[in-house]
Amino acid sequence: MATHEHLIQFDRLEDRLLRGGIAPRHVRRTLTELREHYDDALRDEQAKGAYDAAQAAWQRLGTENDIAQSVLARRELHALSARFPRAVFGAGPLVLWFAITALSLSPFAFGLNAAREAGLIGPPGTPDPVWFKAPFSAMLFFYLRILPVIIGAIMVTAAARQRLALGWAILGTGVIALLSAFATYSLKFATAPGEKGELTLGFGVTAQELPQSLGMGVVNMAIVFAAYMLWQRTQRRTV
Amino acid sequence: MARTNPDFMTGVPELLILRLLTEREMYGYELVQAIETATGEAIKVGEGVVYPILHALEKQGCLSARRKPVNGRTRVYYTATAAGKKRLGVLITEWQRITDAVSNLVAGSVHGHA
């Protein structure tokens, strides 16, 4: 078992690698293997009857500086987000939100029309099935109002986990939190034979709705930061 | 503290690691012991420095890794891939070119002083 002093040194090394931009999974793996290596070395030193087996095992690993430098020098172990924080945390949330929404909704919207035209849900021209309305409306609500909050929370937490400055993540999250509050959609199902369903997505607000939309944006940001604070608390507990 | 070779030539640890891992799969600690044994303890690396090299070689596709439970512990075993063997060939050629050049130089200076 590692001594308390060596456990602290492992934690310090972990922090240094994360701050240096190494991808968290590589940091985790390096530390796991180093701890295993230390345990093996400690067993060997104890078997050899070393006076201070723990210290001897630790010295075999090399200095904290040597290990840190050898990891930091490997460009392939650096996280993309540490190399391009503006793109990943600034523009990433918006791109991710649009991509997930478009890719998830398109098959449903186009698929329903195609299925109707192909006569799979009744004779061609049959109105949209009633059972489809509630799940599709719920999906829209999820993608436009809830997904941005989830993406924001993930981004802010990911930036904090990599010990990166939170500025870009907060900006990126703020943009989608506001856009989500201003997102509008109109959904018209085909209710009579020959009619076609229609889905329109956009952003906009009337002067009357402005306070409500801004309030929603603030609530979205507050939810994101509540999630972040919760994550920070669980981190403190595990240290 | 064990003496290490900090100013060791670039690429040599990769060469040793790939050479040993083409023979059989090993985990980090085992590999460090194998390097010392194979080189008659002439080469000692800071043992912790081996892991970033292993991870980088794995990322480059030169090594593959798998977790294997041994005596109640999970160890990460590494082995050289086809790409790793190819890279080893390149490193050996490069190494031989350098050692030949140095040997010639040393032999030349010995003759020169004789």
Whether B68 maps to a domain, the answer reads: yes
What confidence score (pLDDT) does residue B114 get? Answer: 47
**Helix boundaries (H) for chain A:** 4-19, 24-47, 53-61, 64-72, 80-83, 85, 92-117, 130-141, 147-161, 167-182, 210-238
**Quick one: pLDDT at residue B18?**
96
Q: How far is B104 from chain A (nearest CA, A)?
A: 32
Question: Which pLDDT does position B60 carry in this prediction?
Answer: 93
Stretches where chain A sits below pLDDT 50 are 239
In a domain, B75, yes or no: yes
B57 within domain boundaries: yes
Q: What is the pLDDT of residue B24?
A: 93
Could B48 and A37 be called an inter-chain contact, meaning their C-beta atoms sit closer than 8 Å? yes
Residue B111 belongs to some domain of the structure = no
pLDDT value at position B6?
43
Disruptive mutation site among A44, A70, A74, A78 for chain B (greatest number of B CBs within 10 Å): A70
Q: How many domains does chain B have?
A: 1
Neighbours of A202 (CB within 10 A): 9
CB contacts, 8 Å: A61 with chain B:
46-48
Residue B54 maps to a domain? yes
**What is the amino acid identity at position A44?**
D
User: Is B101 inside any structural domain?
Assistant: yes
Q: Residue B110: its pLDDT value, please?
A: 61
pLDDT at A204: 79
**Ordered DSSP codes for B19-66:** HHHHHS-EEHHHHHHHHHHHTTTS----GGGHHHHHHHHHHTTSEEEE
- With beta carbons less than 8 A apart as the criterion, state whether A22 and A164 touch: no
Domain of residue B46, CATH code: 1.10.10.10
CA distance B103 to chain A (A): 30
Distances (CA, A) of A123 to A118, A128, A131, A193, B66: 8, 12, 17, 9, 55
Average pLDDT taken over every residue of chain B: 85
**Complex-level ipTM:** 0.81
Give me the pLDDT at residue A125, please.
63
Host H or E run for residue B74: strand B73-80
Residue B112 lies in a domain: no
Residue B88, pLDDT > 80, answer: yes
Boundaries of domain holding B81? 11-105
Q: How far apart, in whole angstroms, are the C-alpha atoms of residue A117 and residue A128?
A: 11
What is the structure's pLDDT at B8?
45
> Which among B49, B59, B60 has the least Cβ separation from residue A70?
B49
Closest CA to A170 of A86, A96, A105: A86
Q: Which of residues 23-62 of B touch A (CB under 8 A)?
A: 27-29, 32, 45-49, 51-53, 55-56, 59-60
Nearest by CB to A74, which of B46, B52, B76?
Answer: B52
Residue B20 — very low, low, confident or very high, per pLDDT cuts 50/70/90? Answer: very high
Is B52–A36 a contact, with Cβ atoms under 8 angstroms apart?
no
Instruction: Please tell me whether residue B70 adopts helix, strand or coil conformation.
Output: strand
A129-157: pLDDT as tens digits: 777 778 888 888 888 888 988 998 888 88
Share of chain B above pLDDT 90, in %: 52
Neighboring chain A residues of B52 at a CB cutoff of 8 Å: 30, 67, 70-71, 73-74, 77
Q: Do A40 and B47 touch (CB under 8 A)?
A: no
Res B7: pLDDT? 44
Q: What is the model's pLDDT at position A123?
A: 67
Q: What is the pLDDT of residues A81-117, one digit of tens each?
A: 888 888 888 888 899 989 988 888 777 777 777 777 7
Among all residues of chain A, which has the CA nearest to that of B59?
A: A76
Reported as type and span, the H/E element at residue A201 is strand A198-203
Question: 3-class SS at A167?
Answer: helix
CA distance to partner chain A, nearest, from residue B48 (Å): 4
Q: Which chain B residues are within 8 Å of A66, Cβ to Cβ?
A: 4, 6, 46, 48-49
Confidence at B109, pLDDT banded by 50, 70, 90: low
Determine the residue of chain A that is closest to B57 in CA distance. A76
- Nearest of A155, A177, A179, A176 to residue A167 by alpha carbon: A155
Minimal C-alpha gap between A66 and chain B (Å):
7
In a domain, B15, yes or no: yes
Question: Which tens digit of pLDDT belongs to each residue from B33-64?
Answer: 999 888 887 777 789 999 999 999 999 999 99
